[in-house]
Amino acid sequence: MATSWGTVFFMLVVSCVCSAVSHRDQQTWFEGIFLSSMCPINVSASTLYGIMFDAGSTGTRIHVYTFVQKMPGQLPILEGEVFDSVKPGLSAFVDQPKQGAETVQGLLEVAKDSIPRSHWKKTPVVLKATAGLRLLPEHKAQALLFEVKEIFRKSPFLVPKDSVSIMDGSYEGILAWVTVNFLTGQLHGHRQETVGTLDLGGASTQITFLPQFEKTLEQTPKGYLTSFEMFNSTYKLYTHSYLGFGLKAARLATLGALETEGTDGRTFRSACLPRWLEAEWIFGGVKYQYGGNPEGEVGFEPCYAEVLRVVQGKLHQPEEIQRSSFYAFSYYYDRAVDTDMIDYEKGGILTVEDFERKAREVCDNLEDFTSGSPFLCMDLSYITALLKDGFGFTDSTVLQLTKKVNNIETGWALGATFHLLQSLVISH
């Protein structure tokens, strides 16, 4: 892995020094995500850094990547990553954009602590916002992004043009797929023995895989396929981002099925919650009253019927995924950890049926089950319905639950950084 990455990074260094960067005449999917102005200046030092912010719906995360050229004449390699995060996400500050930007300021201190002062001015910093900001009114989202860019502008780091923006949902899936398959070594050579990726965020969910059968390509809806080249191979990916089908957005959709009017306004109720529960929940900067259904049924069956209405018939079901290998992360991983199905550090392998079994266990013992989250029954039931009735996976489908690969965080951030390099050196 290190040699292939190093080759690309070495070419980036040459491109920057020679100022001879050019792009394809043919438009490619990653054009417009990053610009060549991100090229680090004065890159003669042996260690270089890159700062990537992932501004999601539930939190903001910082990735500080380190690249090292250990000896003169040797190719630089990807050495490691410093990762940190804060909650809530920027979207929670929809009416307080300056306060939202202050959370980014705090994470920038992590970058300062991780990067020597001598490298600050030549280290690029980029923030890409995802579904949380895509759901906001455009003027409110842009106000948040403006304040973040002001924070960047006052920082000691290199701030390229368009360093702060909202990323299209389809890019999330593609870049996460690149990250996982790059870190697992699947993109080296011409075998194309890749794995699919499933990402479940707070506001959206993504599915991405490399189809192997012509039938899949023929039956896939327009807009679900994209092509790109890497390592002298062309990849035609199936990828789609479903906005509004993230875990927290699904909670809101499920709760909306049954409302009651009270003295304090509307209360959202669900069979997925304990009968006695009365509480408040904030999502996307909005406060909701919610609780159990004192007069109705509770447990897995009535809960599953509620979450099923959220996904049934609303997602495309490519038949090929039933025979494909998939890595799953984000809330798939978190809920599996919360219920002791996998180890927090090591992850693990689960089937779709494992999620359903755990959902039944939690939901059918709601009155006795203690958890940090009252939504655990609903979340597990939704994940089960999303996988089975949404995407069309079978009970026996095996999923690799992972948080890190080779000690690097999964998700789209590394893929974004990698494709920055790919786009810069494409003419070389």
Active site residues: 172
- Residues 116 and 130: their CA atoms lie apart, in Å, by 30
43: which 2 tokens?
Answer: 């890159």
Strands 47-55 and 60-68: antiparallel
SS3 for 23? coil
Q: Cβ(195)–Cβ(182) under 8 Å?
A: no
Q: Which amino acid does the sequence have at 199?
A: D
Per-residue DSSP letter, 10: H
316: which 2 tokens?
Answer: 């495309």
- Residues 69 and 25: their CA atoms lie apart, in Å, by 32
64: which 2 tokens?
Answer: 């500080």
E strands present in 27-180 = 47-55, 60-68, 77-86, 125-129, 164-166
Per-residue DSSP letter, 221: P
Q: Which amino acid does the sequence have at 340?
A: D
391: which 2 tokens?
Answer: 């995407």
- Residues 274 and 367: their CA atoms lie apart, in Å, by 6
Name the residue with tokens 């106000």. Answer: 143
Known binding positions for ATP? 202-206
- Residues 144 and 132: their CA atoms lie apart, in Å, by 12
Known binding positions? 202-206
Task: Reply yes or no: is the peptide bond before residue 116 cis, omega within 30 of 0.
Answer: no
